[in-house]
Copies of this chain bind each other. A is one copy, B any other.
Amino acid sequence: MSDERKEQEDGLKPGERADRRVRADAKRNLDGLLQAALTVFATSGVDAPVREIAEKAGVGIGTVYRHFPERSDLVVAVFRREIDACADAAPILAAEHAPGEALARWMQRFVDFIAAKRGLAAALHSGNPAFDALPAYFQQRLQPALRSLLDAAAAAGEVRTDIAAEDLLNAAASLSMHAYAQGSEHARRMVSLLVDGLRYGAVQR
């Protein structure tokens, strides 16, 4: 929260951000670890051995546990990182495309995210309390992202206004997860249908 207050006590020049000097190698390892974990989770599933991830990242097991006290902490970190990436895509798409198009593209991006993280979704419902906070983070991060796109598209008269971001998000998530069994292409089409539904009752201007 407010760790930067003690900057004054240290008498450090502003910009040095010394309150939490993170050694360069530590940051390097942490980044590599998250990257390796993402890859390994995707190929071997979320139950892949910690040793495999450590090896892939080129670090020792001890290093993994230094950054993530428990295995589940690593899983959570990877998941949150992916949620962030998906949320961050919203403003980028909004800057590059017309409101309706940006919305449609983001929804497809979201489908990809859910499809790729299907394994993690199973972990969420495993009963492990370590994952309890993830659903809330999911909503908290993605709802505003979608809402901004939705509002912009609505303001431009490209989509109707009677659908809440929350409902659309959950509907798309459900569709993506259940439809995945019939192939990711099917999931894409279903969500596309959903977006077209939004366009249907649009009020021009």
Q: Is chain A's interface secondary structure helix, strand, loop, or mixed overall? A: loop
The one of B45, B47, B119, B122 in contact with A122, judged by C-beta atoms closer than 8 angstroms, is: B122
Interface-central residue, A47, A121, A126, by most chain B CB under 10 Å = A126
Chain A residues touching B, range: under 10
Copies of this chain present: 2
Cross-chain contact A45 with B125 (CB below 8 angstroms): no
Compute how far the CA of A45 lies from the CA of B128 in the bound complex, rounded to whole angstroms. Answer: 10
Cross-chain contact B119 with A45 (CB below 8 angstroms): no
Provide the A115-127 mask, 1 if CB < 8 A to any CB of B, else 0.
0000101100111
Q: Smallest CB–CB gap between A179 and chain B, Å?
A: 14
Which B residues are in CB contact (< 8 Å) with A119?
Answer: 127
Which B residues are in CB contact (< 8 Å) with A126?
Answer: 47, 122
Known: A122-B125, A122-B127. 5 other contacts (CB 8 A): A45-B127, A121-B125, A122-B122, A122-B126, A125-B125
- Residue numbers of A with Cβ under 8 A of B are 45, 47, 119, 121-122, 125-127
